[in-house]
Structure 1
């Protein structure tokens, strides 16, 4: 009788993978699900790594938990000659290495390259601490594998689906096998709808690299990062990014600082003569002429200008 998570076979976050890979995956799952202990030195990371950033604090917390309770959920690996390639469980592997474990429990399964990568991607996407950039890249990579197309083609297809759904263009893609496959995959993952993914996630990939790096490291929320990315000057953008992180600025505060900076830049970049011309043009069309109080103010200002001109006129 199974009494604890430690005694259970590898089940983790692979619900979506079973749907993606179909009967072959389910057959593999029952064929060899008993954990084995193998030495960490025999486990190699795959060449294509879905995950790039690990939160140091959370990884340290996991290491402490493993030190106290051990690894409760086996890693998933596939045999590679005399060694094993990690399929799922990189955080557990890294944490085990941090506390000096020599062996870890694993479940060994036979997977081809595509199956292994899909499992790694889905497990990665199921993580609570996954940042939105890695989530976006992971979903695109998964769609690329599923539809056997490049990620650039997938992005174009998603935007065409969005435009058709909004009635901006003639329906040509919606209802096709490709779009149905995309919708099915998003339903399987259950983390975000395809519509929200296109409108809120794909734009992240167009952010400046410096913003992307900070966002990928989980130092700032993507809504704040998107706002900061509107600042074109790199030094100003980095200064605002640093302030947003260290001072924990709200999105409203960030937008206020951006607005203030733009006002300052505009005032400095426009010459005094140009400002006068703009103000004069606006004044002629303004409704201040019908307001007696404002007329008096204008009269005083005009008198000052006339006096200034008289002082500087040639004798």
Structure 2
């Protein structure tokens, strides 16, 4: 097994380091020398919000400098990509910046933390951010959760959304359906999810409607499960942080646990020893 990259400092230390950045010297950098953060979790930037920020910068100036890392081709943004994009909208040639020396993991974590602290980061981008931390730095879910100050179950449930079809994830990105809808869809077989998602949009179904949805097909999970089994399934999923399905055939029960990676399986093994 490949050796994991060092976890480095925890969330508190990273935030301290981030705050210390604003006590550093501010320099004016050419916007042409600045590149977006390769670890930026936000895939979509609201154009109206950027335009409002651009108007504010045009009237009052850029009051808070961005934070960048020195790179071989110039500088990479660590914190402040919205300010950078808004500044370009109004044609600024230079913007104030603070040059720091964060490693890649710190750069990725800080970008994700900054976006989590702001409104507007959609659930899909958030989940992708956790996934990127996990895969890029060979972290398990507990380590990702610790890095961003979230519970392991929160991170696990967020990443589970990525098991949905890309069409459903697009609806979630656009806020056409809610996170509650998306989580409810995970309890259905894959071949039913898109059709149910379409009904959510067309009929304005609530999350409760989806949870109580009746389909004349034996493929629907939980259709014949009693309340105790469904509640136990939900409890196990929350406790373990991975999807749990309980199926019954005659008097026999089968418990299926889905893990995202080998490291999650190994983590589960340690917890039950």
| Contact 1:76-1:86 within 8 A present in 2 as well | yes
The 1:224–1:110 alpha-carbon spacing in structure 2 relative to 1, beyond 3 Å, is same
Paired residue secondary structure (1:52): coil
| C-alpha distance in 2 between matches for 1:36 and 1:221 | 42
- In structure 1, distance between residues paired with 2:198 and 2:166: 15
SS in 2 for 1:37: strand
Is the contact made by 1:19 and 1:188 (CA closer than 8 Å) also made in structure 2?
no
Q: How many pairs align? A: 208
Unaligned runs of 5+ in 1: 1-14, 159-178, 267-315
Give the root-mean-square deviation of aligned CA atoms.
3.6
Q: From 191, 195, 198, give the equivalent of 1:236.
A: 195
CA shift at 1:234, angstroms?
Answer: 6.7
The correspondence for 1:195, drawn from 153, 157, 160, is: 153
Distance 1:241 1:78, change over 3 A: same
Deviation at 1:61, TM superposition (A): 3.1
User: Where do 4+ consecutive residues of structure 1 move more than 4 Å?
Assistant: 15-18, 253-256
Higher strand share: 2
State the SS of the aligned residue for 2:68: strand
Paired residue secondary structure (1:135): helix
Give the structure-1-normalised TM-score: 0.53
Give the conservation status (yes or no) of the 8 Å contact 1:55–1:217: no
Offset of residue 224 of structure 1: 1.4
2:164 counterpart (191, 207, 212): 207
Cα separation, 1, equivalents of 2:194 and 2:62? 45
Q: Distance in 1 between matches of 2:50 and 2:200?
A: 25
Partner Cα separation in structure 2 for residue 54 and residue 31 of structure 1: 25
Task: Please identify which structure carries the higher helix content.
Answer: 1
Partner Cα separation in structure 2 for residue 38 and residue 224 of structure 1? 44
On the 8 A contact 1:75/1:86 being kept in 2, the answer is: yes
Quick check: 2:168–2:194 contact (8 Å CA) kept in 1?
Answer: no
Once the two structures are TM-superposed, the CA of residue 88 in structure 1 deviates from its matched residue by 1.6
Secondary structure of 1:84 counterpart:
strand
TM-score, scaled to structure 2: 0.60
Structure 2: gaps of 5 or more residues: 1-8, 219-273
C-alpha contact 2:29 2:97 (8 A) present in aligned 1: yes
Q: Report the CA distance between 1:149 and its aligned residue.
A: 1.9
